[in-house]
Structure 1
Amino acid sequence: MITRPDQFAWPWAFALLVIPALYLLFFWASGSGAAVGYAAQRFVADGPRGWRTRLMWLPRVLRALSLAAVAVAIARPQTITGEVRTRTEGIAIQLVVDRSSSMNEPMKMDGAELTRMEVVKRVAKSFVMGDEASGLGGREGDLIGMISFAKYADTVCPLVREHETLSDLIEKLRTAVIRSEDGTAIGEAVALAAARLRHAEDEVAASVTDDRADDDTPNEFSIASKAIVLLTDGQNNQGEIDPLAAARLAADYGIRVYAIGIGGGRMIELPGFSRRVGPSVDERTLRQIAEITGGRYWLAEDAETLREIYAEIDDLETTEIESSVATNTEERFAPYAAAGLGLVCLETLLATLVFRRTP
């Protein structure tokens, strides 16, 4: 709720304040003696003065104040209250990140050698929170969650619109360290992400209810589209759900999948040269997943390419936020008018009963 200071609809009415000012000047200039002078007035003046005599000016001042209050009332003081209404057409996004042990392979970023997982975490945080240096504006207003997978797919963070918690959970993401938990269950991860996005509207309704309970400012949110950002460096070798079957499920739910293959295989250093061995990223399957769902596929072999890919996704999935202000004007002249009337009545009573002048 926004409250602006009082304003006056007719500020020219303040010119009327000259009337009570001139009235007081005339009163003080003419003196406050009796209406008709006596021959012996100068002798009376030298005698003791009672409180009535000392306060003979009070009715005149009350009359001037009443005129001033009426002038302010005529100026029409107003209180203007405004209510900001925000309407957001956001994107519901599930970040799906491979955390298999192969994500420990080295990758250079800004001149430093990190692991693939560390690079992915940094770029993903920039995608969510924004980073001018990376050309990423952040996903303010979007509903974003995260799923990680190795042998099994797990929900790291449910769909949320406040992204600070999500950013912290991304930072805590670790690769699989136990061999029995290692692997690459792409199909199960995509299927879980699609299932969570399918019911995204229910989570939106719950979050809007909580917002209205905590805040008087209406904030309307609707989902314009749903997307999965899948990132993996390997091939599907775990789980019972085929990646293409999961892609068809996502397509049935109206969800696009943006698939990113990162590196692939393990780098072996040999005398005089290095060689990548082991399973590389399954580009064919990832490309098919993207085609089935109406998304796109990219291959990222370095950190800079990965940033560019996320920036491209940022441009493909845009969020519209509209804000409007509804104002209400409340007239505040009544207290001033009532004060003017009350002062006139008080002045009349005092002049008639207490400070009655001798003719």
Structure 2
Amino acid sequence: MLVFEFPWVFLLLPLPWVLRAVLPARQRQRVAVRVPFGDRIAQAQGGKRSSRPLNRVSHRRWLPALLWLLVLTSLARPQRIQPPLTKEFPTRDLLLLVDLSSSMQQEDFTNAAGQKVDRLAAVKEVLGDFLVKRDGDRVGLVVFGDAPYLQAPFSTDLQLSRRLLDECQVGMAGPRTSLGDAIGLGVNLFDQSDAPAKTIIALTDGNDTKSQVPPVEAARVANQRDIHIYTVAIGDPTTVGEDKLDEQTLRDVAEAADGDYFFAGDRDTLQGIYDKLDQIETRQIKTASYRPRNDLFYVPLAAGLLLSLVGRAISIVASHSDQKRESVRQRQTVEVNPITGELEVSG
């Protein structure tokens, strides 16, 4: 679509004619010789007057008007508007805390194909499907065992986050569990976030055995910074020892951070938890639309320059033709026949 940035410039279109009507005309002094038999001289020279001067006068009238219109068109800044470009801005930062302690290798989950898999494999499968649906979110990934590690920083590249999740292996962060330190790392990662909503989803199957900061204390700090924490317990609640499932701590963490607690006993339950989280943490995508504009002021300028050159060439050719005709006229001699009184042209 073609638009003009300054359409009011076309109000100046009648300006030359207004100035011509208001300002006094320029006086020209012409040298002329009046003879009583001018018409007879013209007939003797050819019978009719040349029409080329009239054409040149007409050409001198329309060309300046057209050039003035092209100049105004260029000053009005014509632009071609391109199709709109839409950019999406994330409105929430979502941080995933994934437990990689040794107890995550227990094969008590069933995948989509009906095969027995370990807990981490089930988390990867379901969490991967959950990730690709988070359009409009920035997603980060923290893995923890003996200590927490940043696996993927906040990014809208959800495919990258899923690939880095698939590369995680049980025990790569140590055999023990440091949930409190993982929450503390997540809180620090949110310090540079300006997203309106901040969410942590923690997935763990064991009690905290390694953290320097208790998980509930870390959750209170997160709540003070408007960070919601959802805890997902993975494993068998009847397990004893260091790998036992501390459901009460996970409930306290979720409550302290204004979140919710979920228990995933199998893959179907885990899938249902993510569906519920998807409903609770609804996606709000902020978009901005921009239509690029291409300036076309050079087109009327180039057309005006070309027309002025053509007009100048026409004037030079017409002037040269007039000079040749004048030289021929000057070589002709008009005489009056003394007997018949007729005008005779010789030359």
Q: Same fold (TM over 0.5)?
A: yes
Q: Please say if residues 101 and 145 of structure 2, whose CA atoms lie closer than 8 Å, have aligned partners that are also in contact.
A: yes
Partner of 2:235: 263
Farther-moved stretch of structure 1 (245-254 vs 303-312): 303-312
Partner of 2:122: 119
Partner of 1:46: none
Partner of 1:242: 214
2:142, 2:104 → 1: CA distance?
Answer: 15
Name the CA shift for 1:7/1:192 in 2 (closer, same or farther; >3 Å): closer
Q: Please say if residues 126 and 138 of structure 1, whose CA atoms lie closer than 8 Å, have aligned partners that are also in contact.
A: no
What does the per-residue CA deviation read over 1:128-187, in whole Å, with 9 as the maximum and x for residues that have no partner?
A: 2x2xxxxxx2334x3322111112222212223333432222111011179xx3112111
Name the CA shift for 1:357/1:127 in 2 (closer, same or farther; >3 Å): farther
- Are 1:154 and 2:157 counterparts? no
The higher relative CO (CA closer than 8 Å, separation ≥ 6) is in 1
1:237, 1:261 → 2: CA distance?
Answer: 16
Partner of 1:25: none
Q: Which amino acid aligns with 2:185?
A: L
User: Residue 173 of structure 1 aligns to a residue in which SS?
Assistant: coil
Name the CA shift for 1:355/1:226 in 2 (closer, same or farther; >3 Å): farther
User: Residue 195 of structure 2 aligns to a residue in which SS?
Assistant: strand
Q: Which amino acid aligns with 1:80?
A: R
1:339 aligned to which of 299, 303, 306: 306
Q: Please say if residues 90 and 138 of structure 2, whose CA atoms lie closer than 8 Å, have aligned partners that are also in contact.
A: no
Partner of 2:333: none
Q: Please say if residues 98 and 149 of structure 1, whose CA atoms lie closer than 8 Å, have aligned partners that are also in contact.
A: yes
- Are 1:324 and 2:289 counterparts? yes
User: Residue 287 of structure 2 aligns to a residue in which SS?
Assistant: strand
Partner of 1:196: 189
1:159, 1:84 → 2: CA distance?
Answer: 24
Q: Which amino acid aligns with 1:79?
A: Q
User: Residue 223 of structure 1 aligns to a residue in which SS?
Assistant: coil
Name the CA shift for 1:334/1:231 in 2 (closer, same or farther; >3 Å): same
Query: What displacement does 1:104 show?
Result: 1.0
1:303-314 matches, within 5 Å, as 303-314=267-278
Aligned residues: 271
User: Residue 210 of structure 2 aligns to a residue in which SS?
Assistant: coil
Query: What displacement does 1:295 show?
Result: 0.7
Query: What displacement does 1:84 show?
Result: 4.7
Q: Which amino acid aligns with 2:302?
A: P
2:226, 2:214 → 1: CA distance?
Answer: 19
Partner of 1:224: 196
| Structure 2 unmatched ranges of 5 or more | 8-42, 47-55, 327-347
Query: What displacement does 1:193 show?
Result: 1.1
What does the per-residue CA deviation read over 1:7-33, in whole Å, with 9 as the maximum and x for residues that have no partner?
A: 7999xxxxxxxxxxxxxxxxxxxxxxx
Name the CA shift for 1:351/1:257 in 2 (closer, same or farther; >3 Å): same
| Structure 1 unmatched ranges of 5 or more | 11-35, 40-58, 131-136, 202-221, 267-275
- Are 1:315 and 2:315 counterparts? no
Partner of 2:79: 79
2:172, 2:166 → 1: CA distance?
Answer: 17
Q: Please say if residues 159 and 200 of structure 1, whose CA atoms lie closer than 8 Å, have aligned partners that are also in contact.
A: no
Name the CA shift for 1:91/1:342 in 2 (closer, same or farther; >3 Å): same
| TM-score computed with the length of structure 1 as normaliser | 0.63
User: Residue 335 of structure 1 aligns to a residue in which SS?
Assistant: helix
1:289, 1:240 → 2: CA distance?
Answer: 16
1:284 aligned to which of 240, 248, 251: 248
1:297, 1:72 → 2: CA distance?
Answer: 73
Name the CA shift for 1:300/1:354 in 2 (closer, same or farther; >3 Å): farther
More strand by share: 1
Q: Which amino acid aligns with 1:116?
A: R
Q: Please say if residues 88 and 319 of structure 1, whose CA atoms lie closer than 8 Å, have aligned partners that are also in contact.
A: no
The structure with the largest alpha-carbon Rg is 2
Partner of 2:101: 100
| TM-score computed with the length of structure 2 as normaliser | 0.65
Name the CA shift for 1:322/1:76 in 2 (closer, same or farther; >3 Å): same
Q: CA RMSD in A?
A: 4.0
1:231, 1:71 → 2: CA distance?
Answer: 73
Q: Please say if residues 188 and 240 of structure 1, whose CA atoms lie closer than 8 Å, have aligned partners that are also in contact.
A: yes
Q: Which amino acid aligns with 1:342?
A: L
